[in-house]
Structure 1
């Protein structure tokens, strides 16, 4: 395997159920960086919620956040680029989702913070969120900051059913996916954005071809990235859409699957089969 760039999702891929990243995984990424391999984390999280990465890796690498809508330099703690969604598109998207799921609630991630509709977050979630604004698609603040990810929550359908109910009608407006394990939550970005688009652009800037990229992920929001990469690894513990999209499988997150593959790459060994 000739790998010059490692691209990894976070939650469910290297971040375990207890919210931690194993020492073995941390060591594998540091070894890869020392060998000259570029590292980029590719996540649905906003750049403000990268505490597990900072705690584990310090300021290692670059992060593609919000499912590809934001590029963040972790080494300089600097927002490099963001693709926002037009307000008119947000309004139309909300109308379509509400028609299919009348009890849906909404939130928006902007370049400056989190905007929540009343009833979107559970009481325990509000205790964990230190600061947020009330969602108003017409607000000056929201428009100045720019929405990079629009969120819709259902309490009556599974994520797969919720997405199936609206995906076709939303196809020309936004990209729509989901990645949460225990909540029915749709994640929407600009129509030209997903993880693979942002990763391909990032790799191109480094002069790296897709055939030289090893990518790891576990959920529907990873499927385009896994299909694009020369070595696309879905976690054995992942969602069926990720497993279908990837050419290869890595052992599950609780088994340090990503670390196992990276170790094999560095040692020129046969990667484990899962």
Structure 2
């Protein structure tokens, strides 16, 4: 195995926001053994403090579900794929037809733009005060939207995605990744985690057979399917578990660390596979 790709929230970041000492040690061992480490997250750049705190200036992070490539060591944006302003307007119109009470926000290369009513329950999605969202504004266009967010308070996330997903897919990629809140995440139509990871790995001369990836939510589906060794967390969404070839114990059981330890210790001839969240 030459590259370890891992989601953050629900995969190595626990419900209390922490990364366990065992997980930190497993990643450090993997890096010391010569494996490349890349975190592939739906989080924006400004939410990378847990990675910095746990691993220091580790290197490159793929953010915003693949829309952003960020050099953590140099603290520099390497690349960003943004959504065309006209596509944002059309996406909003499609969503409002299906869900008239939907609220919106936009993550740009520079910060967060909040629509009216979006941040009512800000603690649930980690948002903070941001610029007022105006889809036609020059500021939004100049900054470039890397993730467009839509929230429903009447449907579950899966139902919300089912209601609008097919109508949106010609304009944007659309997924969701938050437990306990109905929040759709949209990006450039050609963006998902697997596309960004594939391009990053190719730059290192690494193919999918040499990649092990970990994730837990629908925004990880393509990455888990692309990687030669895709592990869904047993504590994750059923769609992620169905998409992955292997299953790791849940995040609270240090599932990623346990799989990496098994590989590093060479105790098995193939990637270790858990049958469920209670396996020890």
CA contact (8 A) 1:44 1:66 kept: yes
Give 1:129 shift.
Answer: 4.8
Tell me if structure 2 keeps the 8 A contact 1:38–1:61. Answer: no
Counterpart residue number, 1:273: 274
Counterparts of 2:187 and 2:86 in 1: how far apart (Å)?
Answer: 14
> How far does residue 60 in structure 1 lie from its aligned partner after superposition?
1.1
Aligned counterpart, 1:88: 86
Q: Indicate the residue corresponding to 1:221 in structure 2.
A: 219
Q: Cα offset for 1:272?
A: 4.7
Whole-angstrom CA distance in 1 between matches of 2:84 and 2:236 = 32
Of the structure 1 ranges 218-227 and 60-69, higher mean CA displacement relative to structure 2 is found in: 60-69
CA distance in 2, matches of 1:73, 1:260: 27
Q: Determine the C-alpha separation between the residues in 2 that align with 1:133 and 1:235.
A: 35
Give yes or no for the alignment of 1:132 onto 2:130.
yes
Give the SS at the match of 1:233. Answer: strand
Q: Using a 3 Å threshold, how does the CA distance of structure 1 residues 251 and 194 change in structure 2: closer, same or farther?
A: same
Question: Partners of 1:28 and 1:177 in 2: how far apart?
Answer: 29
Match runs of 1:135-154 below 5 Å: 135-154=133-152
> How far apart, CA to CA, are the structure 2 residues paired with 1:251 and 1:194?
25
SS in 1 for 2:15: coil
What SS does the corresponding residue of 1:122 show, helix, strand or coil?
helix
CA distance in 2, matches of 1:231, 1:159: 27
CA distance in 2, matches of 1:243, 1:124: 29
Q: Give TM-score scaled by structure 2 length.
A: 0.95
Provide the rounded CA distance (Å) in 2 between the counterparts of 1:49 and 1:232.
25
Instruction: Note if contact 1:41-1:61 (Cα within 8 Å) is conserved in structure 2.
Output: no
The CA deviation string for residues 208-257 of structure 1, in whole angstroms up to 9 with x for no partner, is 01000000000000000000000000000110110011000000000000
Cα deviation for residue 144 of structure 1 reads 0.5
Cα distance in 2 between the residues matched to 1:12 and 1:209 = 26
Structure 2 matches for 1:33-72, cutoff 5 A?
Answer: 33-72=31-70
| Corresponding residue for residue 175 of structure 1 | 173
Would the aligned equivalents of 2:122 and 2:128 in 1 still touch at CA under 8 Å?
no
Report the TM-score, using the length of structure 1 for normalisation: 0.97
- Give the aligned partner of residue 232 of structure 2: 234
CA–CA separation in structure 2 for the residues paired with 1:37 and 1:265 = 12
The count of aligned residue pairs is: 272
Q: Please say if residues 195 and 222 of structure 1, whose CA atoms lie closer than 8 Å, have aligned partners that are also in contact.
A: yes
Q: Deviations over 1:156-209 (max 9, x none)?
A: 000000000001111111110000001000000001000000000000000001
Secondary structure at 1:121's aligned position in 2?
helix
Secondary structure of the 2:119 match is coil
Q: Which runs of 5+ in 2 are unaligned?
A: 276-280
Q: Which residue of 2 aligns with 1:264?
A: 262
Return structure 1 stretches of 4+ with deviation > 4 angstroms.
128-131
